[in-house]
């Protein structure tokens, strides 16, 4: 059993962040803020209420968490010596904070040292955790549905090689999570919905994991039902706060498998499709998850029946149920809709073979051609 972050849900960030900082008795707080949120009134109020404890905002964040962002944030943490990090944003921002915190703890200062900190999977797709302990506490205020806030794994992209590497530590996940559905309601709907499918991916690949167990299954299946309800309602009415709240609860439960079970090829190939072709995380799940479900179907009939039922499609194909749900939200379900050049796919397949989650896929993936079969089905 892994330690869980403390989760404050249905909360107003402008009240809760200052309250939590005061309870911890901190004196120097570094706000890490996605640039699009720098002038958001809820974010500004949250930082203003920290008073003199608030340090200058770090906002130089980029999608897919490039190594240079992690190193720049590491340098900022060392320069300002905060006793608390507060990160506002999506998965890339949260992963940057997690990995930079680990970098500070291990004395990482440059590209090669950061590369040496990555987790390398074995033949079974098991990535060993770093023995290092992240020492600076983190409060995460997520504005998307990526669930990075629960991860003892974080991803960062080596732009020199185009490979997204995983970093793992039992202390990597933020200490505290604040779910503010009012702040979430300001997230653009397409980003909200697509990252919601990323969390659908968490739930599905938890159930289809080689490590699936009754504990994670129960939480993941309930999380999928909440995500189905919340995402549909948010799509119908983006201003519906209750819908945003249900989505956040769904992320929490669907993410129950993070760090507990190995995910599969939808996650693993999504890492490489994002790093190589620049496809956002949520969109990678939109196009890859149905194709991976179809690939795994011969070895997972009973598990996939439970997934289909969670989407209100009992007795039907989980592949079709998930694909139809994604399409019902106005999201793409094929690579062709994302203008991904076919010439990038062999590189995705080649680099994907070394990914921990690809190695751990329920139906073994033994060659680049196996991956190309999935990618062709996703086209």
What tens digit of pLDDT does each residue of 121-152 get?
776 666 777 788 888 999 999 999 999 999 88
The answer to whether residue 295 is domain-embedded is yes
Q: 117: which 2 tokens?
A: 């900190």
What tens digit of pLDDT does each residue of 305-332 get?
999 999 999 999 999 999 999 999 999 9
Q: Which of 92, 87, 85 is nearest to 67 (CA)?
A: 92
What's the full length of the chain, in residues? Answer: 379
The answer to whether residue 79 is domain-embedded is yes
Residues 266 and 283 both lie in one domain: yes
d(CA 349, CA 368): 5
Identify the domain boundary among 164, 182, 200.
182
Residue 177: enclosing H or E segment and its boundaries? strand 176-179
Q: Which domain holds residue 344?
A: 189-377
Residues 255 and 107 both lie in one domain: no
Split at pLDDT 50, 70, 90, the class of 164 is confident
The answer to whether residue 143 is domain-embedded is yes
Residues 304 and 206 both lie in one domain: yes
Split at pLDDT 50, 70, 90, the class of 291 is very high
The answer to whether residue 314 is domain-embedded is yes
Residues 363 and 228 both lie in one domain: yes
d(CA 299, CA 77): 47
d(CA 126, CA 122): 5
Residue 170 has pLDDT above 90, yes or no: no
d(CA 166, CA 272): 11
| Pair 195, 28: CB distance under 8 Å | no
Residues 260 and 349 both lie in one domain: yes
Q: Which of 154, 257, 168, 155 is nearest to 204 (CA)?
A: 257
What tens digit of pLDDT does each residue of 241-287 get?
999 999 999 999 999 898 889 999 999 999 899 989 989 889 999 99
Paired with 154 in beta bridges are 167
Residues 227 and 154 both lie in one domain: no
Calculate the dihedral angle through the C-alpha atoms of 95, 96, 101, 104, rounding to the nearest 10 degrees.
Answer: 140
Residues 171 and 223 both lie in one domain: no
Identify the domain boundary among 124, 154, 182.
182
Residues 254 and 341 both lie in one domain: yes
- The enclosing domain of 263 has a CATH number of 1.20.1090.10
Residues 175 and 243 both lie in one domain: no
Identify the domain boundary among 167, 182, 197.
182
| Pair 353, 368: CB distance under 8 Å | yes
The answer to whether residue 1 is domain-embedded is no
* HSE of 153, CA atoms in CB hemisphere, 13 A: 24
Secondary structure string (H, E, C) spanning 314-368: CCCCHHHHHHHHHHHCCCCCCHHHHCCCHHHHHHHHHHHCCCHHHHCCCCCCCCH
Count structural domains, the chain: 2
């Amino acid at each position: 059993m892994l330690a869980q972050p403390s989760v404050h849900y249905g909360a107003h960030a402008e009240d809760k962040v200052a309250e939590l900082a005061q309870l911890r008795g901190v004196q120097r707080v570094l706000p890490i803020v996605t640039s699009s949120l720098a002038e958001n009134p809820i974010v500004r109020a949250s930082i203003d209420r920290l008073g003199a404890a608030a340090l200058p905002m770090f906002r130089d964040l980029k999608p897919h968490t490039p190594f240079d962002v992690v190193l720049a944030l590491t340098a900022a943490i060392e320069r300002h010596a905060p006793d608390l990090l507060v990160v506002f944003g999506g998965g890339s921002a949260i992963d940057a904070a997690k990995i930079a915190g680990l970098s500070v703890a291990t004395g990482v200062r440059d590209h090669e040292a950061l590369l040496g900190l990555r987790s390398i999977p074995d033949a079974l797709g098991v990535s060993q955790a770093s023995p290092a302990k992240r020492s600076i506490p983190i409060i995460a205020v997520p504005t998307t549905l990526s669930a990075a806030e629960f991860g003892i794994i974080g991803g960062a992209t080596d732009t020199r090689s185009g490979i997204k590497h995983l970093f793992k530590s039992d202390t990597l996940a933020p200490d505290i999570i604040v779910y503010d559905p009012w702040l979430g309601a300001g997230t653009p709907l397409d980003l909200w919905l697509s990252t919601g499918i990323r969390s659908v991916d968490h739930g599905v690949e938890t159930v289809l994991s080689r490590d699936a167990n009754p504990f994670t299954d129960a939480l993941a299946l309930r999380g999928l039902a909440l995500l189905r309800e919340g995402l549909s309602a948010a799509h119908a009415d983006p201003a519906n706060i209750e819908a945003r709240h249900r989505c956040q609860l769904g992320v929490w439960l669907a993410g129950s498998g993070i760090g507990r079970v190995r995910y599969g090829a939808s996650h693993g190939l999504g890492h490489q499709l994002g790093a190589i072709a620049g496809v956002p995380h949520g969109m990678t799940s939109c196009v890859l998850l149905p194709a991976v479900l179809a690939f795994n179907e011969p070895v997972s009939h009973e598990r996939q029946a439970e997934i289909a039922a969670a989407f209100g499609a009992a007795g039907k194909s989980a592949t079709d149920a998930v694909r139809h749900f994604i399409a019902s939200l106005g999201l793409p379900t094929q690579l062709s809709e994302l203008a991904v050049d076919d010439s990038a796919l062999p590189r995705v397949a080649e680099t994907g073979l070394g990914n921990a989650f690809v190695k751990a896929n329920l139906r073994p993936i033994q060659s680049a051609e196996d991956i190309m079969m999935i990618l062709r089905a996703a086209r």
